[in-house]
Structure 1
Amino acid sequence: MPGDSNLVLKTHPLQAESPPIVLASRSAARRALLESAGLLVTCRAAEVDEHAIRQHCRAQEMDASQTALELARAKARATRADPGAVVIGADQMLSCAGEWFDKPENLSVARCHLRTLRGKAHMLHTAVVMMRDGRETWRHVACPVLHMRAFSDSFLDRYLAIEGDAILSCVGCYRLEGPGIHLFSRIEGDHAAILGLPLLPLLDALRADNIIMR
């Protein structure tokens, strides 16, 4: 769009000159994943009431994967974009033994979440939706499983002191690309999906639509 300082007017060698790709998120991790794959993206945060969407999904007896899809879909729909642009919406839900976990409000809540998850396996439901001109063209949900080790309280104290408010934007109170890796004994599934975006399926979808080279 005119005046958008985030829009770089050049063509990447693996990407078609048009349409532009818009990521409906300000997530640094999601942007880094796309840019590390050589894609040129514009990031715009979507203003949606995530709490209300989750409540509605609960009332409709949707599971965590369906709820993550609804959140990703709402973000893509709410994001302004030029006609023909590809809009990518993504979101994550965390479930453990049937319980859903939201992003922590503060470090005290983060501590409680981590104590609850400690020594257990939990699942991340990572959804991505692709839209053009308000029409959904593709969707996908990845469900990696993470096994959190039985760490000590002294480790937890040190971890929270090191990470601080950085983990308040993370649904599981961890950044796997940072010190959060020390929380785990084993991880099953797509590493990129844990970071917030199932990258390989998304790249396949972009190729299928001739947005990047086949």
Structure 2
Amino acid sequence: MRFVLASASPARLAVLRAAGIEPSVVVSGVDEDAVAAALTDPAPAELVTALAAAKAEAVASTLDGDAVVVGCDSMLSIEGEMLGKPGTVEVARKRWAQLAGNTGDLLTGHAVLRLEDGVVTRRTTGSNTTHVRFADPSQDEIEAYLATGEPLNVAGAFTLDGLGGWFVEGIDGDPSSVIGISLPLTRRLLAEVGVTIPDLWSLT
């Protein structure tokens, strides 16, 4: 059985490797904006879960044999707004104007699919929310952070495990979820499709 991570995120891959799993990485290529547009006024948890499921299903459709596929999506909810990857320095700068000295909820949606002989036999989804307390960095610090490029391609324009960790005062909840893949939630979802963590450790 293969463990397949349906994500290009190096942070998610690093979390899994540190936890004793060496996944195959298959990027879904899903149009996230199209998936989101197809939903009618989704709740934050519904949105990230739907995106995670779309990624997992897209990757599963390309596989054969026995596998478990994990899809993930993360967004930051702050002041009633859902923030994904900013993409540009200008957008990231506006995001940090919101984040500085503020608090937000980092939502991570997960989807787990079990394949047998290339056919999805079981699927399950779930989400996790972690409260994040942001520091109030100086404008020079923010500009220096933006210049690194790190905040442009991560949900909410910050990381916990990288350079952005300097600007996070604390979190209430699961740190692995903020990095991008919640180990506790993933373990529960894997159990729902009949896979245990020792099963996965035995693959490495």
TM-score tier, shorter chain, comes to 0.7 to 0.9
Q: Which of 5, 16, 20 lines up with 1:38 in the alignment?
A: 20
Give 1:124 deviation, angstroms.
1.0
Does 2:176 match 1:192?
yes
SS in structure 2 opposite 1:150? coil
Q: Which residue does the alignment assign to 2:202?
A: none
Letter of the 2:151 counterpart: I
Choose between structure 1 and 2: higher strand proportion.
2
Q: How many residues align?
A: 192
Is 1:159 aligned to 2:145, yes or no? Answer: yes
In the alignment, is the contact (CA less than 8 A) between 1:117 and 1:148 conserved in 2?
Answer: yes
Query: Over aligned residues, Cα RMSD in angstroms?
Result: 1.7
Match among 29, 32, 37 for residue 47 of structure 1:
29
Measured after TM superposition, the shift of residue 135 of structure 1 is: 4.8
Structure-to-structure mapping, 1:1-214, within 5 angstroms: 19-57=1-39, 60-79=40-59, 80-132=62-114, 133-161=119-147, 164-207=148-191, 209-213=194-198
Largest Rg, 1 or 2:
1
- Change in 2 beyond 3 A, CA 1:210/1:65: closer
One-letter code aligned to 1:160: L
Cα distance in 2 between the residues matched to 1:204 and 1:70: 18
Q: Which runs of 5+ in 1 are unaligned?
A: 1-18
Question: Structure 2 CA distance, aligned partners of 1:200 and 1:39?
Answer: 14
Contact 1:88 1:131 in 2 (8 A): yes
